[in-house]
Amino acid sequence: MHVLLYLLLSMSAFANEEFPAGAGSTSDLSVGAFSHPLSGARGQERRDFVLGNSFFQSVWVTSPSSTPIRDGLGPTYNATSCTACHFKDGRGRGLPDQDGKVDISLLFRLRVKNADGSVSEPENYGGQFNPQGIAGVPGEGDAFVNFETVTGKFSDGEVYELKKPRYTFINLAFGAFPKNTIFSPRVGPQMSGLGLIENIKEEDILKQADPDDLDGDGISGRPNMVYSIVERKKMLGRFGWKAGKASLLEQNAAAFHGDIGITSYLHPEEDCPLVQIDCAKKRTQDDISPDLLGKVTIYTQLLSVPVKRDVGSKSVENGKALFMKMNCQSCHTPSYVTGTNSEFEILNNQTIYPYSDFLLHDMGDELADDVGAYKNEEDAGTREWRTPPLWGLGLVQVVNGHTRLMHDGRARDFNEAILWHGGEAQKSRHKYLNLTKKERDDVVAFLKSL
């Protein structure tokens, strides 16, 4: 009885925004801020976390090798390790400062628009562009970006400047892309608090959905109900820029397969389109065992979230009030209480502050993969993106050395990220344009504190 009372009192002490991951929040605000296990993880959980971390950091090599437990790279791939795109468990930068080759952390999903309104994968390249190949296997080509300068004004007369990316693909090894190809750029997001997101009750996310905007506030929000190859049924998608995966196990297995060319029991076949004969000759199977894939998944489930900074600051508090006044919280839902069924007790019954509804929203023409209404990933459309969580974003510069945001890193800071919002967020963007310089700075201060 005394132990239960102590646990309840301890839990309530962390049930405020200063501790975004509840009792599991970390107080480390250094370059290692995103890499800690949740406080409260103990014993075997920590040992599995460490083992999973070693394979998350591992550079995978070509099979066969003297280290068969870490081989199976390719035949084609984007990167040789998870950490190449999630350095220090943080965000990739995605785009360079000037016109040039895109960063390794930015991948492209490929779809071709068909005459009947459906989409399919390009016959010669498959569903994801892989610029790298192992020895004897050509990479698929190179992706470059050129920037178009877009200017505008705040209502107080201050001029702003955005850099709109234009993507081109050269050195294509298997011919030009079909004319109706859709390119969907996606940068490696930070890894904070993923297990807590997985443990949010499904009904708490679904109750925010308003796909037909019945309340008339201009904000819809649709769940991406995706097929789970583990559960063999439709489930709520939570992970990825289009909410394309229902669980961290499936998200990790898909990333190993699509990004590094590592097969597993969930994705046993290499992605080698018929014309890529050299790729087919180098196929391997079962590159990562179910046990090791499980350990990597435990690692991602137990990653913590840094505590909030600048608590009590007048600028931060005013910024938060303006954030609410602009109605940003309609998509960036501040808090949840997690469920109670996780095998890891530290994930259960925690009051958390991710600032996301984890639903899909139409973000307007400028951010759309294609302005048409095509399905891109399960039910997610080409105009839609899942609301990303905001926790930890203020420390990306400390951890990753850059401040780039949005799905491809086009925003160079928080101010630009807000200005890129369109579609359902257009009204909030308009309110931001009408703030004073001091008020805009306060909104950014609030976002940096999360």
Q: What is the pLDDT of residue 7?
A: 52
Cα-based distances in Å from 291 to 48, 74, 295, 296, 328: 11, 21, 6, 9, 41
Q: What is the pTM of this model?
A: 0.96
Q: What is the dihedral of CA 358, 361, 365, 367, to 10 degrees?
A: 0
Q: What is the pLDDT of residue 13?
A: 82
- Which amino acid is located at 403 in the chain? T
Burial degree of 365 (CB within 10 A; 0-12, 13-18, 19+): exposed
Report the distance separating Cα 122 and Cα 127, nearest Å: 7
Q: What is the pLDDT of residue 10?
A: 55
**Sequence-ordered list of residues with C-beta below 8 angstroms from that of 420, at least 6 positions apart, any chain:** 162, 366, 367, 406, 410, 411
Cβ–Cβ contacts within 10 Å for residue 234, how many? 13
Distance of CA 1 to the CA centre of its chain: 41
Q: What is the pLDDT of residue 11?
A: 62
Cα-based distances in Å from 322 to 250, 318, 336: 38, 6, 21
Q: What is the pLDDT of residue 3?
A: 46
Low-confidence spans in the chain with pLDDT less than 70: 1-11
Q: What is the pLDDT of residue 263?
A: 98
- Please state whether beta strands 351-352 and 336-337 pair in parallel, antiparallel, or not at all (unpaired): antiparallel
